[in-house]
Amino acid sequence: MIYLFYFVLFINLIFSIIVLSNFFFNNIYLKRLTNSTNSKKNIRNLVSVLIPARNEQKNIGNLLNDLINQNYKNIEIIIFNDCSTDKTKDVVEQFIKIDKRIKLINSNYLPKGWFGKNFACYNLAKVAKGDFFLFLDADVRIKDNLIRDVISFIEDEKISFISIFPIQKMVSLSEKIFIPIIYNILLSLLPLYLVLRSKDFHFSAAIGQFMFFKKETYLKYQPHKLFKESKAEDIEIASFLKNNNEKICCLVGDRRLTCRMYQNYYEVVNGFSRFINYIFFKSYLLAFVFWFIEFISFVFIFYFKSLFLLFLILLKIFFISLTSRQNIILNLVFSPLNNFSLIFIIFRSYIANKSRKIFWKDRIL
């Protein structure tokens, strides 16, 4: 038994050191968008801002207001109203009266074999006229000169696709417990620098809240059609592009991009259950192993009074908070609950996928 104890401790220490090395590496080489306002570049590309929206009357007005006040003016804004049962359509129509760059597509059906958001994005791209396609979720907030800076970054780095993880706004207790889980997994396991520099498709990541394509790249692959049944099309699209030798990038923590991803316990649990296995290459076993190693860390800290492991966890939480611009105090307080919440999400996702009863936006996926 004592040998098992030391073996588990050894594995845990190795994992912790690898994770901390990755955090350090990410922060040293972390890419940030630079201000291109004073650049001599003459950037005049038309950007198609494409927004899938289903029952987004609470959010869509805020995003449209942000977009029409962007410093970068050469944009068209197209909203796909995906069978909404609330006043999403009415809100958008009020903005159309204000700004002629805004257009609305109304849909009252979802074809069999399609996930709603993927169908919306596919149809938005069909009518887009821009040199770049920017897909935004309706609950995103975007400020200042972000669009111009992204175009400048794409041209400097010669990339085809970029996704930015917004700073997540967390209000309810459920959000504060669950939302940091995603950033913990992402920043623990993924060297962000290698998403840009490595050709290995395993080093890829994206989030559907902000996905920015070169037009020719999107039209070449039609990725939303390609992954029309995917519950995590953003992750699969990034991996697919990388595997097809497209240069991609993933950024984190730009203050001009924020989002309140979920607003209550129901949304958080259903949302995470939808895609948690995709983060681990669709393997629930890998998800469980990740959770178990972190769980053992807490066991050693609280039961065996391991100050060294406590120090490593504190460092990890510090780096997560620094990179993602989250509140370090809240992350410290809720860290043990994050771990128990992760195994709950993994278990619930597994059961829901087996029974094919994952609910999202009032639909069974």
CATH number of the domain enclosing 226: 3.90.550.10
Same domain, 340 and 243: no
Q: Kindly give, in sequence order, each residue whose CB lies less than 8 Å from that of residue 157, ignoring residues fewer than 6 positions away.
A: 196, 247, 249
Count of domains in the chain? 2
Q: Tell me if 167 sits within 8 A of 325, measured CB to CB.
A: yes
**Per-residue confidence at 30, pLDDT binned at 50, 70, 90?**
confident
Q: Does residue 204 share a domain with residue 333?
A: no
Looking at the structure, tell me whether residues 294 and 263 fall in a common domain.
no
Q: Give domain status of residue 139, yes or no.
A: yes
Residue 104 CB: number of other CB atoms within 10 A?
Answer: 17
Question: Considering 267, 299, 317, which residue would you say is the last residue of a domain?
Answer: 267
Backbone angles phi, psi at 103, to 5 degrees: -130, 155
pLDDT at 236: 96
Instruction: Answer yes or no: is 187 within a domain.
Output: no
Integer Rg of the chain from CA:
21
- What sign for the dihedral angle of Cα 305, 306, 308, 310? negative
Residue 179 lies inside a defined structural domain of this protein: no
Assess whether 259 and 288 both reside in one domain: no
| Of 343, 348, 312, 316, nearest in space to 177 by CA | 343
Residues 288 and 196 in one domain: no
243-299: pLDDT as tens digits: 999 999 999 989 999 999 888 888 898 889 888 999 998 899 999 999 988 888 888
Q: Provide the 3-class DSSP secondary structure of residue 102.
A: strand
Locate all alpha helices (DSSP H) within 99-169, ordered by sequence.
116-127, 146-157
Full-model pTM: 0.93
315 shares its domain with 215: no
Does 183 map to a domain? no
Q: Is residue 184 part of a domain?
A: no
* Count of C-beta atoms within a 10 Å radius of residue 24: 12
Residues listed for the chain: 365
**Of 267, 302, 330, which marks where a domain is finished?**
267
Question: In terms of Cα–Cα distance, which of 202, 205, 242 is closest to 221?
Answer: 242
Q: Are residues 224 and 118 in the same domain?
A: yes
Mean pLDDT, all residues of the chain: 90
Residues 20 and 200: their CA atoms lie apart, in Å, by 22
**Same domain? 112 vs 53:** yes
Same domain for 321 and 290: yes
Per the domain annotation, does 129 fall within a domain?
Answer: yes
Beta strands in the chain (DSSP E): 47-53, 75-82, 102-107, 132-136, 140-142, 161-165, 167-168, 210-214, 248-252, 257-259, 359-360, 363-364
Residue 182 lies inside a defined structural domain of this protein: no
Q: Which distant-in-sequence residues (6+ apart) come within 8 Å of 270 by Cβ?
A: 358, 359, 360
Query: Is there a single domain that holds both residue 9 and residue 143?
Result: no
- Same structural domain for residues 289 and 146? no
Residues 6+ apart with CB under 8 A from 226: 237, 240
Q: What is the pLDDT of residue 3?
A: 67
**Contacting residues for 63 by C-beta, under 8 A, at least 6 apart:** 51, 136, 138, 139, 140, 141, 142
| Residue 218 in domain | yes
Parent domain of 104? 47-168+192-267
C-alpha–C-alpha distance, residues 268 and 102, integer Å: 30
Among 5-9, 59-63, 135-139, which is the least confidently predicted range?
A: 5-9
Same domain, 334 and 207: no
- Among residues 267, 286, 317, the one where a domain terminates is 267
Looking from the CA of 320 toward its CB, the CA atoms found within 13 Å total 26
Q: With cut-offs at 50, 70 and 90, classify the pLDDT of residue 40.
A: low
Residues 6+ positions from 327 with CB-CB distance below 8 Å: 321
Q: Let me know the angle formed at the C-alpha of 297 by 178 and 28, rounded to the nearest 5 degrees.
A: 70
